[in-house]
Amino acid sequence: MYKLLFWIVVITGIVLYIRHQMKKRRLEEETEAQPALRRGTTRTVRCEHCGLHVPEDEAVRRDGHDFCGWEHAEEWLRKHPR
């Protein structure tokens, strides 16, 4: 009986160790796939209208100003004509 219990504990430990290693490897692969997002190096710009900070590649740039969306760009430009 004790031999059976011993082997169940050993096998359970091996299975848990393998699952932990697989999860660790998967997390490392995700980190390598998106290094800029993980390290926080994505440059952000501030919306001229509402002040929200958005990633530079998602921002709307119009007449030298950055906006979080087209609606804010249009509204701000209506209020501040050239």
pLDDT value of position 41: 66
pLDDT at 7 over 60: yes
Mean pLDDT to the nearest integer, 19-41: 77
Region 42-82: CATH code: 3.30.60
User: Is the CB of residue 43 less than 8 Å from the CB of residue 58?
Assistant: no
**Alpha carbon distance, N-terminus to C-terminus of the chain:** 88
pLDDT at 1: 87
CB count, 10 Å around CB of 69? Answer: 16
pLDDT at 39: 56
User: How large is the average pLDDT for residues 56-69?
Assistant: 91
Q: What is the pTM of this model?
A: 0.49
Domain coordinates in residue numbering, the chain: 1-39, 42-82
